[in-house]
Amino acid sequence: MTLIKSISGIRGTIGGAVNDNLTPVDAVKFASAYGTWIKTASGKTAPKVVVGRDARLSGNMIQQLVMNSLVGLGIEVVDLGLSTTPTVEIAVPLEKADGGIILTASHNPKQWNALKLLNNKGEFLNAANGAEILKIAASDSYIFSEVDDLGAISINDSYIEKHIDSVLKLSLVDIEKVKQAKFKVVVDAVNSTGGISIPPLLKRMGVEVVELYCDPTGHFPHNPEPLKEHLGDLAAKVVSEKADLGITVDPDVDRLAFMSEDGEMFGEEYTLVACADFVLGKTPGNTVSNLSSSRALRDVTEKHGGKYTAANVGEVNVVTTMKAENAIIGGEGNGGIIYPESHYGRDSLVGVALFLTHLAEKKMKVSELRASYPAYFMSKNKITLTPSLDVDGILAAMAKKYENEDVTTTDGVKVDFAENWFHLRKSNTEPIIRIYTEAKSQQAADELAEKTISEIKVIAGL
């Protein structure tokens, strides 16, 4: 069982021992540290914080602990209940709140949960803010409010509808074109909050919706990471229903993947590529994705005359780089779309609306749209960390081994070759080393991954 403390929040498995897992004590501790930081950062004795959660089984328990810890600090809490990460991000500025917390472990299985922490813009905290909260938590330096100064909880369940309204008002979203296309779509929402956000959005756009695992019970019917090997039921349903496409999201709805009409994956990496192609075709500009994302976004951006920049992995790093580069769209290759006209956060609702408008204009099958983009293939692997592994030493040795190539060491080690690349880094969300490779065929990507893993094992003495 695991507890991961990072600048982006606190993530762990439910149950077990305090400080080793995400127990009730740990939830209270880190909510209190965040609340203490919010009071200092805002300069207010009674700041406001928005809280929402995905549908996982531990969500209600963790939310009650978190909200009442904030109340104990004199903080006013806006309870969105079942929500999505991008919905909470949008709610923070609309509520004129001082921060926000999303209770979700994203793509992690049901035994996990986490506190994702936002600033007053509804954006993830930067490294300095996160480090300050970890310091407060380590010192247990909280001053709770006296009885007359306790905060209060107000419930507001209107924000998913407000979120949908805001997406449909985006300048490039064309509801009429999508209605005219008469799409039929199967949605796999892994029994979380995608089920109460994606189908209503699609229905507002005139799409015929076939719901698969859209009841937000928190009983995930399969591994919730939206990868091909987990989506056999969706593939079968898309084919049997003769649907135009399939849509799947992770439990907190910030990762988006499409499936072609033949039951084949469009590819998580190509979610951003397709949406960027559409946006850049209407409003030329720059793009950003992270170091582990496909070169296809670079190719599409340059085709439209824009500049592509790679950022370190992590949403806050991508957002910071997008602002610096004045990017008009960006995100991460795991299916995360960041569209600043909406907000600076990964948002599957925005991605769905942009993609369907693009598809309606193209008047082609999803498989044909996918075939129109540069063909790259990725292999995504991982090595589980053990206390004996010297990860920093391994990464340094790999950088040294390839020092005559194009090496980037700002976030792990990325080595770019003419025809392919590999990227090694410690995960922010799991106790693993991630190994990503990309090449112009799946075989080449897999072979590069095998070679890289073998080299790591030799260095580590495994």
Q: Any idea which residues carry the catalytic annotation?
A: 106
Q: How far apart are CA 289 and CA 329, in angstroms?
A: 9
Q: How far apart are CA 348 and CA 346, in angstroms?
A: 7
β-sheet bridge partners, residue 287: 308, 329
SS3 content of the chain, % helix, strand, coil (to 5): 40, 25, 35
Asked if residues 285 and 309 have their Cβ atoms less than 8 Å apart, the reply is no
Q: How far apart are CA 390 and CA 293, in angstroms?
A: 26
Q: What is the 3-state secondary structure (H, E, C) of 75-127?
A: CEEEEEEECCHHHHHHHHHHCCCCEEEEECCCCCCCCEEEEEEECCCCCECCH
Helix axes 24-42, 59-72, angle to 10 degrees: 40
β-sheet bridge partners, residue 249: 256
Q: How far apart are CA 13 and CA 15, in angstroms?
A: 7
Q: How far apart are CA 288 and CA 151, in angstroms?
A: 40
